[in-house]
Structure 1
Amino acid sequence: MTGAGTNHSKESLEGGPAIILVRPQLAVNIGMCARAMANFGLSDLRLVSPREGWPRTGALKKGAYAAAAGAVHLLEKAKLYDSVEAAVADLNYLFATTARERGQFKPILTPSEAMPPAAARIAAGERHGILFGPERTGLDNDDIALADAIITFPVNPAYASLNLAQAVLLTGYEWMRATSGDVKPFAPVERSPAASREMALSFFNFLEAELERAGFFRPVTKKPVMQRNLRNMFHRMQLTEQDVRTWWGMIVRLVEGPRADAKKTMAADQSDSDPLE
């Protein structure tokens, strides 16, 4: 199953630091991590001694692949290791993620601090990786001792535990920001140009004339203030040409009543629902 935002016609981003899941406990969490990686263009998934083995068959595979939601290509390419040392042997720089201070005198960074320099060094040819620990206990001190720096997350200090895939997602988001900036993936489609002042004023004159005829501006002494308030209300909308045409048409119909063809349709509908027929 793929999500609504999946578009296979577009080029998929790849690269970034290796995501190394150390002794992950649940196959479904591995699948969710793969999905988070795909969201942000990370493509190197490494697994160290998964508790349930690497689920390539049966119910465990089904659960992991369903949770990946279209990112199964990352699960298919995932590399399996027996030790953390083997999983990180080819890397030049290693981060370890943890929610608590470990007293190892390493640089402590948030993802937003860690990813920009990592992006620059990876672009220069280095290979980086990020360790994520088991869901229940996190990385142990020996795992963290292998790392050059620690990544931690600015969270509620009374509830600092993150789901494994959430931690990967937050790091991946900062990786994307570091490599692509805060560029929005799409922009609003402007279907109509902004209304000219002449067009807006013509509409205001028409609207105010109809409101005057209906007795809206009462008491008369407040008419200038009411007119200004109405005009400012519409100006805040930043009216387009289509907006003005739509408002104008709505008010015409309210003033003049239904068109002739609409009256016939209404009469037919009422006849069809007549219980005496």
Structure 2
Amino acid sequence: MSGTNSERELIAEGPAIILVEPQLGENIGMVARAMANFGLAELRLVNPRDGWPSEKARSAASKADHVIDGTKVYDTLEDAIRDMNFVYATTARERYGFKPVRSPVFAAATLREKFKAGEKTGILFGRERWGLSNEEVALADEIVTFPVNPAFASLNIAQAVLLMSYDWMKSGMDDVEETRFQPVEQRPSTKEQVFGLFEHIEEALDARGYFHPPEKKPKMVDNLRAVLSRRGFTEQEISVVRGVINSLDRFPRKHSKAAADSADRPSADMTGPGALENDVEE
């Protein structure tokens, strides 16, 4: 889903994302993209397998260059979190220990509070194949785990970062139902505009021999109007429909061979089962 707009404010704040021994540059790039989607910007790598920098990571980041350019690399996890006040470790596996286990919503709210208080925080993510070791989890303050299918709990690293980043973004919203943009405001049509649409369509259809045989025209008109008035049109929608009809009117009407052939053909498609006149009960 495309939505990059360099003219709008770029949100770049919050906890650091720390990847422990990531393997593929493409995965790092997708992590950077997920972070940028939800306003995170600080990425730390612990001993990346293929080194750094990585053009594969930059390509996969889909223009999240501010995250890629600011990425820092560390030899050990201890070095990567040495300056932090509070750290979460993410895991989908059951761990036996004394650390509190939090949901992403709770963890995001905690991180938001600490961020506002000026504390430096981070979230640990483990290797693509087997995650974090018990020793690495022990370096964190608390654990955050995702509500996943217990029989299939393996998450792609970028997916895990995306989920956590999403909850981080929501934790800063006054209303979680708020959206970043709204549909174009439209005015409801008046009945006069609807009547004009009826007349426009009926005149265009009549000119092309649609109401055939003639004795069925009143019923077909009633059914057509019932369909067109089933929901409330806006002014813009009526303009669109009438624009379509005006476009069709640029072609010949009743004197065209196609219109004449249509009028002479059997009218089963207009009067048989499923036809327009049968859509509304007597």
Superposed pair shares fold, TM > 0.5: yes
Aligned to 1:194: 188
Report if the CA contact (8 A) 1:33-1:68 is conserved. yes
Task: Deviation per CA, 1:83-116: give whole Å up to 9, x if none.
Answer: 2222112222211000111111322222223212
Aligned to 2:50: 52
1-side partners of 2:119 and 2:223: how far apart?
A: 66
Aligned to 1:159: 152
Root-mean-square deviation over aligned CA pairs: 3.2
Q: How does 1:241-260 map to 2 (within 5 A)?
A: 241-248=235-242, 250=244, 258=251
Aligned with residue 183 of structure 1, among 166, 178, 182:
178
| Percent identity between the two aligned chains | 45
Aligned to 2:33: 35
Aligned to 2:69: 76
Aligned to 2:272: none
Task: Deviation per CA, 1:53-105: give whole Å up to 9, x if none.
Answer: 3x23xxxx221221122123322222222222221122222110001111113
Q: How many residues are paired up?
A: 249
Question: Which amino acid counterpart does residue 186 of structure 1 have in structure 2?
Answer: F
Question: Which amino acid counterpart does residue 23 of structure 1 have in structure 2?
Answer: E
User: Larger deviation: 177-186 or 145-154?
Assistant: 177-186
Aligned to 1:266: none
The change in CA–CA distance for 1:40 and 1:257 in structure 2 (over 3 A counts) is: closer
Question: Which amino acid counterpart does residue 84 of structure 2 have in structure 1?
Answer: L
2-side partners of 1:211 and 1:37: how far apart?
A: 55
Higher helix proportion = 1
Aligned with residue 118 of structure 2, among 125, 133, 141:
125
Gaps of 5+ in 1: 264-277
Gaps of 5+ in 2: 257-282
TM-score when normalising by structure 1: 0.76
Aligned to 1:13: 11
Report if the CA contact (8 A) 1:92-1:126 is conserved. yes
Report if the CA contact (8 A) 1:16-1:42 is conserved. yes
Q: Displacement, 1:232?
A: 4.1
User: Larger deviation: 107-116 or 240-249?
Assistant: 240-249
Report if the CA contact (8 A) 1:211-1:217 is conserved. no
Matched, 1:143 2:136: yes
Report if the CA contact (8 A) 1:35-1:68 is conserved. yes
Report if the CA contact (8 A) 1:18-1:130 is conserved. yes
2-side partners of 1:250 and 1:45: how far apart?
A: 52
Question: Which amino acid counterpart does residue 181 of structure 2 have in structure 1?
Answer: F
